[in-house]
Structure 1
Amino acid sequence: MRATVMYQAGDVRVETVPDSTLRHPTDALVRITAACICGSDLHPYHSMSAADGPARMGHELIGVVEEVGADVATLRKGDLVVSPFAISDNVCVLCRENLQTSCLHHEAAFWDGIPDEGGQAEAVRVPLADGTLVKLPVAADSALMPSLLTLADVLGTGYHAARMAEIRPGQAVTVIGDGAVGLMAVLSAKRLGAEQIILMGRHQDRTDLGRDFGATAVVAERGEEGIARVRDLTGGLGTHAVLEAVGHMPAYHQALGVVRPGGVISRVGVPQYEEAPIGFGSLFRHNIRLAGGPAPVRASIEELLPDILDGTIEPGRVFDAVTDLDGVPAGYRDMDERRSLKVLIRP
């Protein structure tokens, strides 16, 4: 079969690799019908050393079940399924608390940490299939496929940012970052009833989509100038919640600058730093909370799915390019150079 392999920073190839096969009785083998490139895939694209490669890529996928292990009880051949970016049994004590990204099962992991598997491929072995995979009530050629694919990561991640911020109707929210996750955070803040949603981003095609998703204002400025602009839009107070969807230190400093006293900073951008100010001069002084983390998207799929099926939301609009596997290396370049927002892959 064919799969995407990253050898080092900037070096992405599509190669023939050994076929994925069942290894454990709790596995399922899935033929992938839709996948995509994630903004977080660009982190290793910038920084991976040759010593850390080659690595199979991709953690967002929809596909058809081709084979199941002897212990798989809820799935059968022919089921169309979506896979979250984290493997989980969905029954341990932490999964029952909707923390599937912290599942206690020894096989639980993020897709990027499972050797010889990845979603940017023709097929994949899914560990803990009963807990991880969710059946979809549509055909594989459904026009809803782009939106359904967002359930694997970006929609659930944006929603996690909003939920962890405990957004309530009438509140003011700042979203930092106009990538796919930031736009999903805008959509999620709107869904939870935020009245004022300020999107900090400088790519007009993306911020225009953010306005469609619910942003009431766009701030293109960064740093102190951007902070001043948000403060101006909020009567000097800042916003009740800041959803940080970038993961770099300047974005965190921006969040500190625009959050309201008593507010919350919710981070879902994968942090590219180890330390951040949290002491008296930053969070402590004004009773500001820090929340967020890897999104347990498995917990939100059943909640968000009906809104996609009935057309209440259309998160699949974040996909602005489509390719087959041969086009994946170019897709990485296009996303890295901001020519594409998010690339859909149809193997």
Structure 2
Amino acid sequence: MRSAVYRGPGDVRVEEVDRPQREASTDAIVRVTHTAICGSDLWFYRGQADRDVGSRVGHEPMGIVEEVGDGVRRVEPGDRVFAPFVISCGECEFCRRGLHTSCVDGESWSDHGGAQSEYVRVPHADGTLVRVPDRYADDEDALESVLPLTDVMGTGHHAAVSAGVDAAEECVVVGDGAVGLCAVLAARRLGAKQIVAVGHHEDRLSLAEDFGATETVLDTEDVDAAARVADLTGGGADHVMECVGAAGAMELAVDVCRPGGTVGYVGVPHGTDAEGLPVFDLFSDNITLAGGVAPVRAYAEDLLGDVLGGTLDPSPIFTKTVDLDDIAAGYRAMDEREALKVLVRP
């Protein structure tokens, strides 16, 4: 089969590799029909994060079940399914608590063929896979709206939940990548009355407005973004979502959070450590820091219901589509900020 393989910074290639095989009764094999390139993939692509040369990449699979083991009960061959970015059993104490990303048997897609591939092996198929109802199995518009539930929509929702966003509340979203934009959608879904989106790109902030942001702040060298947010919110917000992971984004999130408020953080940490975290500001203003890697599987069914019901549509985050054979062009487009998020069709 064909699979995207990391060969070094700036070098992702499609290569022929062995098709995955079932190894346990709880496994399924899924033929991937849709996947995507994630902003977090750019860290290794740019050489800013460690990655084994020769490893397969991708973690956002959607497709058709081809085979199941004897122990699989919830899906069967022919079912349309999608899967979160972390494999989880669905049965351990952490999965039962909704912390699927801390599953005691959790695994990475890179260990099972990579999601930017023609096929993936799915361990713990019953705990990992989410079935799409048959009536939508071939509805391309619906499927493109569902695909972000594998990662960025669930992650944006986790930011909003962690920040405590509720109806008639004011909130701020720091970051205008796919996760930040999905956090705007999540805040609107939860009923926030004011959503201020902060980012570095006018076109993305325009999409944030389409998604429900009531105000936007273009963060440039000439703009004091914290002061601008304070002006718009009357001194800051009780609920702030940090959706970047960089030290500067975390500092801004804490700056615009009101005393006693909460910062929900979901950006993959990069350049942020104990010394860079504004711990004294958190301490002095009694600001709660909540969040972390998003347990996307915990939110999947609720979000899927809204997507299929027509009240939630994150598909506009896909601004470029490529075939698997052209995935290198997709990585370049995201690296050069020519695309917000790339949909890949194996």
Q: Which TM-score applies when normalising by structure 2?
A: 0.95
Residues 1:35 and 1:323: Cα distance change in structure 2 (over 3 Å): same
Counterpart of 2:243, as a letter, is: A
CA contact (8 A) 1:9 1:49 kept: no
* 2:61 paired residue number: 61
* 2:119 paired residue number: 123
Residues 1:48 and 1:255: Cα distance change in structure 2 (over 3 Å): closer
- Aligned partners of 1:18 and 1:292: how far apart in 2? 37
| Of 217-226 and 166-175, the range deviating more from structure 2 | 217-226
Residues 1:274 and 1:52: Cα distance change in structure 2 (over 3 Å): farther
SS at match of 2:181: helix
What is the deviation of 1:179?
0.7
- The C-alpha deviation readout for 1:205-263, integer Å capped at 9, x for no partner, is 2111110111011101257711111111122x211111111111111111121111111
CA contact (8 A) 1:8 1:49 kept: no
CA contact (8 A) 1:8 1:50 kept: no
* 2:20 paired residue number: 20
What is the deviation of 1:12?
0.6
- The C-alpha deviation readout for 1:3-56, integer Å capped at 9, x for no partner, is 000121111101111111111221100000100100111111112689721111
- The C-alpha deviation readout for 1:65-97, integer Å capped at 9, x for no partner, is 101112112221101101110111111111111
Q: Which TM-score applies when normalising by structure 1?
A: 0.95
* 1:305 paired residue number: 304
Counterpart of 2:232, as a letter, is: L
What is the deviation of 1:337?
0.7
CA contact (8 A) 2:154 2:299 kept: yes
- Aligned partners of 2:48 and 2:337: how far apart in 1? 20
- Aligned partners of 2:188 and 2:51: how far apart in 1? 44
SS at match of 2:140: coil
- Aligned partners of 2:113 and 2:59: how far apart in 1? 9
5+ residue gaps in structure 1? none
Residue in structure 2 matching 1:134, options 114, 130, 135: 130
Q: Is 1:190 equivalent to 2:188 in the alignment? A: yes
CA contact (8 A) 1:190 1:214 kept: yes
- Aligned partners of 1:132 and 1:140: how far apart in 2? 21
* 1:201 paired residue number: 199
Number of paired residues?
341
- Aligned partners of 2:260 and 2:51: how far apart in 1? 45
Q: Is 1:34 equivalent to 2:30 in the alignment? A: no
Q: Please, what is the CA RMSD of the aligned residues?
A: 1.5
Q: What does 1:291-330 align with in structure 2 at a 5 Å threshold?
A: 291-330=290-329
- Aligned partners of 2:164 and 2:50: how far apart in 1? 42
* 1:99 paired residue number: 99
Aligned residues: percent identity?
A: 50
* 2:5 paired residue number: 5
- Aligned partners of 2:116 and 2:2: how far apart in 1? 9
What is the deviation of 1:203?
1.6
SS at match of 2:21: coil
Q: What does 1:74-223 align with in structure 2 at a 5 Å threshold?
A: 74-105=74-105, 108-112=106-110, 114=111, 116-137=112-133, 138-222=136-220
Counterpart of 2:137, as a letter, is: A
Counterpart of 1:320, as a letter, is: T
SS at match of 1:55: coil
- The C-alpha deviation readout for 1:103-122, integer Å capped at 9, x for no partner, is 123xx12324x2x5211111
What is the deviation of 1:139?
1.6
- Aligned partners of 2:51 and 2:137: how far apart in 1? 41
Residues 1:78 and 1:62: Cα distance change in structure 2 (over 3 Å): same
* 1:290 paired residue number: 289
CA contact (8 A) 2:98 2:298 kept: yes
Residues 1:50 and 1:143: Cα distance change in structure 2 (over 3 Å): closer
Counterpart of 2:314, as a letter, is: P
Residues 1:103 and 1:201: Cα distance change in structure 2 (over 3 Å): same
- Aligned partners of 1:4 and 1:330: how far apart in 2? 12
| Of 270-279 and 13-22, the range deviating more from structure 2 | 270-279
Residues 1:310 and 1:103: Cα distance change in structure 2 (over 3 Å): same
- Aligned partners of 1:52 and 1:268: how far apart in 2? 24
What is the deviation of 1:194?
1.1
- Aligned partners of 2:198 and 2:51: how far apart in 1? 36
